[in-house]
Structure 1
Amino acid sequence: MITLRNLKKIKHTFIFLLILFGFSTSVNAQTFDKLKEIFTFYPNKKAVERDSTIYKQKFIVAPVFSYSPETNFSFGTGAKYLFKFNGSGEETRVSNMPMSIQYTLNNQFFVYSGFEVFTNQEKWVIEGNLLFQNYPRLYYGIGKDTPDSAEEQYDYNQFLLEPIFLKRMFHRYLFVGAGFRLNHIYNTDFEADGLIDRNRPDGFNGSTSVGAEVAMLFDSRSNILNAQDGWYFEFTHGEYFKALGGTHKFNLTRFDLRHYLDVSKKNNDILAFHVVGQFSRGNLPFSEYAFFGSSEIMRGYQEGRFVERDLLATQVEYRKNFKNSRWGMVGFVGTGDVYNDVKSFQFKTLKPNYGLGARFMIDKSENLNLRLDWGFGKNTNNFYFTIAESF
C-alpha cells in the first residue's frame, strides 16, 4: 500500500532526480564535450599520431553519482578504460574495463569492476567481476510471499572475484571456456532475536563459496556499452566444494539472454529483449540465493525484496532516440518471480513490473548514456539514476 508519506517521499525524490538530471545535461553539446575531455586521457596518443590505424585508447576518470533504492544517493569516482590490443582492427570490438569506488548515504561503500576484454581478432574473451563492499541490506525472510512488515536490516562485508577465460570455437561469435568464483561473506551484523536470528538460514553469519565454473558465451553485439543489434547469451555452471576452501557444497547455474532489434532506421530506435535465470541445488548459503529486483531487471522492486533458491525474470524495453539529438526515452515492461524449485513455476504467481525513463548521451563515439528510470512493481516503485543501459 502506498501511503501519503510515501507519496511525498516519491515526489521529493523524483523532483530532486529531475533537477540533477537536468543540471547534468543542461550544457550545450560543445561545452559538454569540452568538459568530458578534461577527464579523458589517451594512453597511446603519440602512437596513434604516428599510425592512424591504431585504436585510440581512452582512460576516463570522473566524479560519479547515482541513485537506487538499495543505496540511496551514492558518490565517488569512476574510471573506464576502453582499448584494443595492438594489432587489432575493425574485426575486434572495444574492450571495456570499468572501475567504480563509491560511498552511499546508507553508509555503504563498494569497489566494483565488471570487465569484458577481447584479445586480437577476438580469439579469446576474458570477462568477469570484482567486488568489495560493505552492504547493509533489507531482509524480509525467504520466499516469494514475504510481508513488508517483516523488514529488518542485515549488514555484511563481501569480497567477490570471478574471472572467466573463453576461447572462440566453431563460430565467429561463440566462445567456450572456464574460470573460478570466490564469494566471501564476513563481518555480519543483524538484530538479536530478529527474523534472521530466529530463522538462521545456512550461512547467515558468514560463508565462503569457492567453485570452478564452465561457461559459454555467444555475443554478436556490435557495441558492448549500448547494444543496437545482435544477440548475447551467457551460460555458467559452477560446482562448489568444501575441498576448495568453501564452507558449503552446492552447484549454481545461471544464464543471461538478450536480443536487440533496430526497428527504426530513421532514428535508430531499439527494441530490446532480456531473460535471466538462476538455479541452484545442494547446501546453498544465504549469500548465493537469488535476489529479486535490481537496477538492471525487475526495476521497481528493491534488490532482495524477495529471496529464494531459483529465479526467472524477463523484460522488454523500447528505446526511443530523437534524431540529431543526445536525448532519448525508454519504456519497459517485465515479469518474474523466485522459487524454492523452478519446477513450481506458475504463470498466475508472476510479479509484474513496468516503467519509463529518460536518456542523455554523454559519449557519442561509444554510444554511452546517462540513465534515469522510474520502475513500478506490485505495490512498489523506485527510481534509478546511473550511467549505461540496464542491459
Structure 2
Amino acid sequence: MKYFYLSVILIILSCSSLNAQEKKGTIEDLKEFFTFYPNRKAVEKDSSLYLQKFIAAPVISYSPETSFAFGTGAKYLFKFNGSGEETRTSNMPITLQYTLNNQFFLYSGFEVFTNQEKWVIEGNLLFQNYPRLYYGMGNNSPESNEEQYNYYQFLFEPIFLKQTSLRYLFLGAGVRYNVIYDVEIESGKLIDQTRPSGYDGSTSAGVEAALLYDSRSNILNAQDGWYLEFTHGKYFEAVGGTHKFNLTRFDLRHYIDVSPNNLDILAIQTIGRFTRGDIPFSEFSFFGSSEIMRGYREGRYVDRDLLAGQIEYRKNFKDSRIGLVAFVGAGDVYNNISDFQFDSLKFNYGAGLRFMLDKSENLNLRFDYGRGQNGASSFYLSIAEAF
C-alpha cells in the first residue's frame, strides 16, 4: 500500500531554526510529553529495575484507498523484573487508526524477551477493515487491471521459542489463525471473473515450527549482528480452516558497523515466502510494502512465491539526532521459485531522513521516499526502521 504518514511528532523537525540549547530542551520536553513510565515509582525505589516506556502520539495518515486516517501510534518498551544488561528490551508496538471511508485497523507486531532471554515470544495481532488493490496474478500484471476489494481480517500469530545451548539460537513453535470475511469485490472485474479459491473469504488455521537466530544488540535499530527467522506452517481443515496448504517463510538480515566514529550502518536483508497446496486467495505472496520493495504498492504483483532483498546505508552524524539513509532493492513473485530469472527482477531505490526520538533506545522517526519501475513511488513516515 501507499502510505504517507504524518504525526504531531513532526513538530520536532521545526526546531531546526532554534539554537542548540533551545533545540535540546524543546526535543526533550516534546519527547517527555508523549512518553509515559508505568514503573517510575518502582525504579525510584530500586535502581536495578529497567525504566519501562510507553511512547504514544496522535497519527494522521493518507492513502488513495482510504482517504485520511486518524489514530494513535505507540510503542511499549520494557524488561521483566530481574532482567539485566544481558536481556534485550522487549518491544510491543501498537497502531490504531480510523479512516474517513469508515475503515479501521489495529495492529501489533511484538517481540518479548523473558529474563536472561530464556524464552522469546514473538508474533502478530491484526484486526482490520481495509482495502487492497489487485492487478491480477503473476509478475507481469498490467496497471490497467487495477481494481479494489475490501474485507475484514483477524490475524493472531503467537510463536514461543526456547533458547538453545547457543546464546542467540532459539527453537520453538506457534499457531497462526487468519480469518478473511465480509469481502466486497467490484462486479465484472478480474476477481469476479476468475473467482480464485477463497476470494469471498477464508480461514487459515494451522501450526508453525520456528527457528530464530538473533544476535542484534538492539531490536529497534540494530547496529551489528545477524537475524534469521524461519517458519514452516501446515494448515488444515481439521482444526477449523477452510483450506489445506503449507506456508514457508524466512527473513535474513545482517548489520555491519562500517564507521565506528559516526555509527554508520550497512544493513542487508533477504526475505522469502513460499506457498503450496490449496492456497486461499489471501495467502498468496504480495509484492511491495513499507518495509521491503518500498515504492511499490503492497500487492502490486501477486503469486505463490516471493523472493526479495535490499541494502540500506544508514548515515549518522556524531552528536546529532539527524540521520540519512539510502537504499536499493530487488525482488519478484513467481508461480514457482524455480522460475526465478535475474532479467525479470524488479528494482527499487530511495532515500530517507531519520530523527532520533529516544537516544537510550536508539529509536528513530523514519521518513522514506521509494521509487520502483514504471513510475511507481511512495512516501513513508513511521517510527522505527524498516528492518
The amino acid of 2:377's aligned partner reads N
Segments of structure 1 that go 5 or more residues without pairing to the other structure are: 1-9
Q: How does 1:230-269 map to 2 (within 5 A)?
A: 230-269=225-264
SS state at 1:301 partner:
coil
Q: Which residue of 1 aligns with 2:20?
A: none
The amino acid of 1:26's aligned partner reads S
Residues 35 and 110 (structure 1), Cα distance of their counterparts in 2 relative to 1, 3 Å cut: same
Q: Which residue of 2 aligns with 1:388?
A: 384
Q: Which residue of 1 aligns with 2:304?
A: 309
The amino acid of 2:232's aligned partner reads H
Deviation at 1:20, TM superposition (A): 8.2
Q: Deviations over 1:238-293 (max 9, x none)?
A: 00000010000000000001110011111101000000000011000010000000
Q: Deviations over 1:175-195 (max 9, x none)?
A: 000000000000100111211
Deviation at 1:105, TM superposition (A): 5.1
SS state at 2:338 partner:
helix
TM-score in terms of structure 1 length: 0.93
Of 149, 170, 178, the match for 1:175: 170
Q: Which residue of 1 aligns with 2:106?
A: 111
Report which stretch shifted further, 160-169 or 77-86. 77-86
Q: Which residue of 1 aligns with 2:215?
A: 220
Does the aligned pair in 2 maintain the 1:308–1:339 contact within 8 Å?
yes
Q: How does 1:187-336 map to 2 (within 5 A)?
A: 187-336=182-331
Residues 260 and 238 (structure 1), Cα distance of their counterparts in 2 relative to 1, 3 Å cut: same
Q: Deviations over 1:318-363 (max 9, x none)?
A: 0001111110110000100000011111111000111111111111
Does the aligned pair in 2 maintain the 1:69–1:302 contact within 8 Å?
no
Residues 47 and 20 (structure 1), Cα distance of their counterparts in 2 relative to 1, 3 Å cut: closer
SS state at 2:81 partner:
coil
1:122 equivalent in alignment to 2:117: yes
1:34 equivalent in alignment to 2:29: yes
Q: Deviations over 1:60-89 (max 9, x none)?
A: 232123456765653211222111111110
Residues 32 and 220 (structure 1), Cα distance of their counterparts in 2 relative to 1, 3 Å cut: same
Does the aligned pair in 2 maintain the 1:66–1:384 contact within 8 Å?
no
Does the aligned pair in 2 maintain the 1:68–1:295 contact within 8 Å?
no
Cα distance in 2 for residues equivalent to 1:60 and 1:22: 15
Deviation at 1:48, TM superposition (A): 1.1
Q: Which residue of 1 aligns with 2:131?
A: 136
Does the aligned pair in 2 maintain the 1:106–1:136 contact within 8 Å?
no
| Identical amino acids, percent of aligned pairs | 70
Cα distance in 1 for residues equivalent to 2:170 and 2:206: 20
Cα distance in 2 for residues equivalent to 1:42 and 1:132: 27
Cα distance in 1 for residues equivalent to 2:383 and 2:54: 16
Cα distance in 2 for residues equivalent to 1:22 and 1:48: 30
Of 337, 340, 345, the match for 2:335: 340
TM-score in terms of structure 2 length: 0.94
Report which stretch shifted further, 237-246 or 39-48. 39-48
Does the aligned pair in 2 maintain the 1:83–1:96 contact within 8 Å?
yes
Does the aligned pair in 2 maintain the 1:67–1:383 contact within 8 Å?
no
Cα distance in 2 for residues equivalent to 1:227 and 1:278: 23
Cα distance in 2 for residues equivalent to 1:328 and 1:128: 29
Cα distance in 2 for residues equivalent to 1:381 and 1:158: 26
Residues 213 and 103 (structure 1), Cα distance of their counterparts in 2 relative to 1, 3 Å cut: same
Cα distance in 1 for residues equivalent to 2:251 and 2:216: 14
Q: Deviations over 1:128-177 (max 9, x none)?
A: 00000011111111111000000111110100000000000121000000
Does the aligned pair in 2 maintain the 1:68–1:382 contact within 8 Å?
no
Segments of structure 2 that go 5 or more residues without pairing to the other structure are: 16-22
Does the aligned pair in 1 maintain the 2:8–2:58 contact within 8 Å?
no
Does the aligned pair in 2 maintain the 1:234–1:257 contact within 8 Å?
yes
Does the aligned pair in 1 maintain the 2:12–2:30 contact within 8 Å?
no
Deviation at 1:42, TM superposition (A): 1.5
Of 49, 52, 77, the match for 2:44: 49
1:25 equivalent in alignment to 2:13: yes
RMSD: 1.9
Q: How does 1:337-376 map to 2 (within 5 A)?
A: 337-376=332-371
Q: Which residue of 2 aligns with 1:6?
A: none
Cα distance in 2 for residues equivalent to 1:22 and 1:111: 22
Does the aligned pair in 2 maintain the 1:180–1:213 contact within 8 Å?
yes
Report which stretch shifted further, 241-250 or 35-44. 35-44
Deviation at 1:103, TM superposition (A): 2.1
Cα distance in 2 for residues equivalent to 1:221 and 1:377: 29
